[in-house]
Amino acid sequence: MKIIQITDTHLVPPGGTVNGVSPETQLRAVVDDIGRRHADADLVVVTGDLCNDGEPAAYALLRDILAPLACPVRLLLGNHDHRPHFVDAFPDQPRDPNGHIQSVMDTDHGRLLFLDSHEHGHIGGIYGADRLAWLDAALQVEGPVTVFIHHPPVMDGLAHFEHIRLHDDGAVLARLTAHAGGVRHIVFGHIHVPLAGSTPEGIAFSSGQSTAHRFVTDLADPEPYWTAGPPCYRILMIDDHGFRAYGAEVGLPHTARAAVCAGP
């Protein structure tokens, strides 16, 4: 199964910029590249902070940009989003009984879980009792699960995010750790830099790189610098060999072509 992860698109109304970057230009380049190179993708997941300020015009732009994608698309909310405006623009995106943008997808390689950590007025993520009850029900399945969420439910180790992580007292990770079928991977956004690791219990996790503006990676600086970079996304493969994630950047110059390596 091939899944494309896009994250932290931070769209604003047409023509706008955020931290010196045009989110619209970046995302259009990503969607064009996916269409040309990954027409066989089974799913595209955008892991939150879809829009920078949650304006209806920004969600309308997002709908327009994503329209050419041929495969199904799942959209998650981040702290910059606005749930009512999102629902108005994307009424067909699945929601749980309480209106949170949460859903499951069962595949030949286990269940995919799409979690909603957005809470209006909070920069950090919230995952309260009603959402945990939904998660408990969603985990009543045999076999491994793969989790998609905006706020990392694990320690990211970045000073800038010390106070704006997932504020759940470890509840989400505890549920996932206790799942008898195991967790293939936790996929998230929010931190705007690439990160990969595992929990003390051995659950693997990783973040996508922001498609729009990104941080210069600095673990200790609570005020890191924003920077620009090529439009980017990730290619996630789930198959009989397990889970793999590949970073892809759009528009890189070609300096030479590698020859076929016969091996061994």
Q: What span, in angstroms and rounded, lies between the C-alpha atoms of 15 and 5?
A: 24
**pTM assigned to the model:** 0.97
- Whose structure tokens read 């106070």? 163
Residues 6+ apart with CB under 8 A from 191: 152, 156, 158, 161, 207, 215
Do residues 12 and 51 lie in contact, with contact meaning Cβ atoms separated by under 8 Å? yes
Q: What span, in angstroms and rounded, lies between the C-alpha atoms of 232 and 170?
A: 30
Chain CA centroid to CA 23, Å: 16
- Whose structure tokens read 């749980």? 96
Q: What span, in angstroms and rounded, lies between the C-alpha atoms of 122 and 132?
A: 18
Domains defined along the chain, listed by start? 2-249 (3.60.21.10)
Per-residue pLDDT of the chain (264 residues; tens, 9 = 90+): 999 999 999 999 999 999 999 999 999 999 999 999 999 999 999 999 999 999 999 999 999 999 999 999 999 999 999 999 999 999 999 999 999 999 999 999 999 999 999 999 999 999 999 999 999 999 999 999 999 999 999 999 999 999 999 999 999 999 999 999 999 999 999 999 999 999 999 999 999 999 999 999 999 999 999 999 999 999 999 999 999 999 999 999 999 999 999 988
Residues 6+ apart with CB under 8 A from 122: 79, 167
One-letter amino acid identity for 149? I
